[in-house]
Amino acid sequence: MKLEIEFFYSQPLTQPTIAPLTKEHAPEQDCLMIFSDFDLTCTVVDSSAILAEIAIVTAPKSDQNQPAGQITGMSSAELRNTWGQFSTQYTEEYEQCIESILPSEKVEFNYETLYKALEQLSDFEKRANSRVIESGVLKGLNLEDIKRAGERLILQDGCINFFQKITQNRSINANVHVLSYCWCGDLIRTAFSSGGLDALSIHANEFSFAESLSTGEIVWKVQSPIDKIQSFDDILQDCSSDRKNLSVYIGDSVGDLLCLVKADIGIVVGSSSSLRRVGSKYGVSFVPLFPGMVKKQKEFAEGRSPCIWKGQSGILYTASSWDDIHAFILGL
């Protein structure tokens, strides 16, 4: 069966097709720009929960003296209690913020209107991050512990395979960028490096370390929807102008929404209810990837669509797994 599929797939077609994206790719003329979120797009668990668990597990017990020279931090019991409070507060205030930015009635899609709404969410994210830093809960994390957690981090099925195939295929001129709210870029780099992926460009926040121990401070680079879209725009701005650049953004949350709708092709993974609520209220349509491609191919074949991928169309495609994304972009 596999040989049959490969045989028919290799046969010349009498008409151009819209998928896979790389079928008509000419590396000397085209550049495929792949952008992806990290937390819950690539991972099974949010990275902040992993960093919190490292802090709790490695913190001294209440009755233990800390080693000489170690950055003073909270005890294990204090950390667990504080993280629990932060988590509850964040969830409650996040829901309140989402409710506050929703229009009373559904509006037509307009990028600028959506941008203005998500500025409020950006302010909330920054306030929440400031509380974490001021509390000191991130003091004393060991870089080696973070890297070990990254090596064991469970990623979504098919994620590593997709990135391996697209970065190792010499017939494809592709740049891959990961844009993430993750507090510690070392966690992301280690997670991908353990899968043999060192060619990805990571855009995330960074812990500040003193002799391999975190000081509790973070060098902020990407902590809000506005930061993400700014990084996205900057990367595309730096692209070579003598090539045809096609951008694909893969994400799962409201924080990815501006990048998703601005990319030539926005692909949603996961089932975030807040993403769909906000998107739908602001005129964004969510179309299942496979039926959406079939419809677009029919329109293209009949001459009713020029099949020019273009951002800010207000249409996002939903994928059930990374295998869907792999098939759409790279084929079987």
Q: What does the pLDDT look like over 209-231, one tens digit per residue?
A: 999 999 999 999 999 999 999 99
- What's the pLDDT at 12? 66
Q: Is the pLDDT of residue 38 over 70?
A: yes
How does residue 317 score in pLDDT terms, banded at 50, 70 and 90? very high
Among 10-14, 273-277, 287-291, whose mean pLDDT is lowest? 10-14
- What's the pLDDT at 73? 60
The predicted-structure confidence for 45-74, as pLDDT tens digits, reads as follows: 999 999 999 999 988 765 445 444 444 467
- Kindly report the backbone phi and psi dihedral angles of residue 322, in degrees, each rounded to the nearest multiple of 5, phi listed first: -70, -20
CATH of domain 14-330: 3.40.50.1000
Angle ∠(107,181,151) on CA atoms, nearest 5: 135
> What pTM value is reported for the model?
0.91
Among candidate residues 238, 235, 184, the one with its CA nearest the CA of residue 213: 184
Adjacent-strand bridge partners of 37:
none
The predicted-structure confidence for 104-130, as pLDDT tens digits, reads as follows: 999 999 999 999 999 999 999 999 999
- Kindly report the backbone phi and psi dihedral angles of residue 99, in degrees, each rounded to the nearest multiple of 5, phi listed first: -60, -40
- What's the pLDDT at 6? 74
Q: Is the pLDDT of residue 288 over 70?
A: yes
Angle ∠(258,261,264) on CA atoms, nearest 5: 130
**Averaged pLDDT, 177-181:** 97
